[in-house]
Amino acid sequence: MSYRTASAATLCVCSLWVTGCGVDDERASLPQVTPITSSAESAPENRVDPETFRGPGDGHVFKYPSANGRARECFFDAEGATCLGVAGPDVPDISVPPFADQAPSAVSVSDTGVRYTLFEGVPPAQVTLERGQWFELGSVRCEVDEALDLTCSVGENSFRIDGDSGLISTEGVVVEH
């Protein structure tokens, strides 16, 4: 992949927080969203160097396991993270040109809040953030707990993606798209 292509993919995600990688419309059969509860402090021995996930440009990409065996992916830098997941049935469709209005297929978090979005133009992740592992880069912290739930946070804003259903729940300021 050329530097120009990698930079374009990074710019696409960083500036637009855009995404859209084939998550089926699973929203209708999902359980209700529950608030995120904070977990106990993660074990220091399970901390992963974020450079493990270095992708093209200034970004990082990782995949994370799910209970159904379907890996999902995330893109992050020192200021925010965007991950694939399933928006609840109460989350409205979003408009992200040049794509048609559609259900969000991802969620992003930064110091300004949490935003439902699409996931497009990010190269496939090669490395997995495994059960019980976590990392911090700048203001971003992500971890996969023992139930395979993924949580990413920036300050008081966070999202959790359920390890079974992929359902996204949020805490903090939700920014409209």
Q: What's the pLDDT score for residue 12? A: 40
Four-point Cα dihedral 27, 114, 104, 69, nearest 10:
-60
The pLDDT value given to residue 121? 79
Handedness of CA 37, 41, 42, 43 (dihedral sign): negative
Q: Which amino acid type is present at position 142? A: C
Pairwise CA distance, residues 76 & 147, whole Å: 22
pLDDT in tens, the chain (177 residues): 333 333 333 334 433 333 333 344 444 443 333 344 444 456 788 999 999 999 877 789 999 999 988 889 999 999 999 999 999 999 999 998 888 999 999 999 999 999 999 988 788 899 999 999 999 999 999 999 999 999 999 999 999 999 999 999 999 999 987
What is the rounded distance in angstroms from the CA atom of residue 88 to the CA atom of residue 26? 9
Question: What letter does residue 54 receive in the DSSP assignment?
Answer: B
DSSP character for 29? G
Whole-angstrom distance between the N-terminal and C-terminal Cα of the chain? 30
Whole-angstrom Cα distance, residue 60 to residue 35? 27
pTM of the full structure: 0.77
Return the number of other C-beta atoms located less than 10 Å from residue 101's C-beta.
9
Report pLDDT for 15: 34
Pairing of strands 150-154, 157-161: antiparallel
